[in-house]
Amino acid sequence: MGVDDEVLGLPLAFSGQRLDWRDLPRHVRERIRALAGSQVTAETSATSGFSPGFAAVLELADGRGVFVKAVSPEQNPFSPDLARREIRVASALPPEVPAPRLLWSDDDGEWVLLGFEVAPGRSPQLPWRPDDLGAVLDAVGRLADAEPLPGHTLRRADDQLADDFTGWRRLSAVPNDDLVGLGRTGETGRWAVANLERLLLWEQESLPALGGDAIVHGDLRADNIMIDTDHHRVWLIDWPHACVGAPWIDLAFMLPSVALQGGGDPATIFRSHALADGVGDDELRAALAGLSGYFVWSSLQPAPPGIPNLRAFQAAQGLATLRWLHTLA
């Protein structure tokens, strides 16, 4: 996947800061062995995704496999809380959601460990192939029909994104250097700078547009998807950002990255999908304003520990979202 990103001129969708099995402290390795119920004979590290720490498929002596995540504050201070959120999300997902099942977890206050069933398959080929994209879009459509299990603790999308969808407001309150930099990114950036007041107004309308009862993954990109062509199945992985909201959120929010990675025009793809039925341009414009502001503002912040490629990828996603938003202006 990384090579294809380079061909497309994109920053790699990978943190580059992953730990190997031998990098884990001895007591962490022993705890994983105990939770897995067998000795570890081999590892295959994950080659995509931004989360630092340990992420690998472990082959076990009894012939089973398990996908293990292991994080501590040393890799990134926010990673343990994200892992804890993923544990809570797992208990809210009904069986029809195409997510690997959480087999076990452990939290000693420093290291958070998660063991999932292995999702067989491969990442989508980039640039996106029509058959891969079609299978993923079908899976997103089916996900939109799912609701969380009773007693779940998932947050509402408007609550979860309330702080994130303030990027244009934040940019309007800082010195002009950041806006000047945005204006230098080309026609789309110049349009955004010239229309900051409109972006602010649309951003203010973004949260009410996100309401609904569907399960929302909240972070769909190619690096969070596995395609099992042998069994005609798509797996959606990495769920710490899941929430409950409008059924079309995942479709709309993944399409800027699809456009970046050669998948086609996001506006055309969105409007050709059944999930777009009943979604007005005003709602979509507001949501994209919130999303673009989040990406642009985030891309201007210092790189978080252990995730050096994240800001460049967010900058690319921000511009892709703005290009789509510009067509709705």
DSSP 137-188: HHHHHHHTT--PPTT--PPBHHHHTTTTTTHHHHHHTS-THHHHHHHTT-HH
For residue 2, what pLDDT band results from cuts at 50, 70 and 90? very low
For residue 247, what pLDDT band results from cuts at 50, 70 and 90? very high
Amino acid letter, 234? V
Q: Does residue 13 surpass a pLDDT of 70?
A: no
Q: For the ranges 83-87, 129-133, 183-187, which has the lowest average pLDDT?
A: 183-187
The label of the residue with tokens 């709705």 reads 328
Q: Does residue 127 surpass a pLDDT of 50?
A: yes
Is the Cβ–Cβ distance between 296 and 182 less than 8 Å? Answer: yes
**According to CATH, what is the number of the domain 2-116?**
3.30.200.20
Q: Does residue 178 surpass a pLDDT of 90?
A: no
Query: What mean pLDDT value characterizes the chain?
Result: 92
- Which pLDDT score is estimated for 7? 42
Domain 130-327 sits in CATH 1.10.3470: no
For residue 3, what pLDDT band results from cuts at 50, 70 and 90? very low
- Which pLDDT score is estimated for 217? 98
Q: What is the pTM of this model?
A: 0.93
- Which pLDDT score is estimated for 322? 97
Domain segments of the chain: what residues?
Answer: 2-116, 130-327
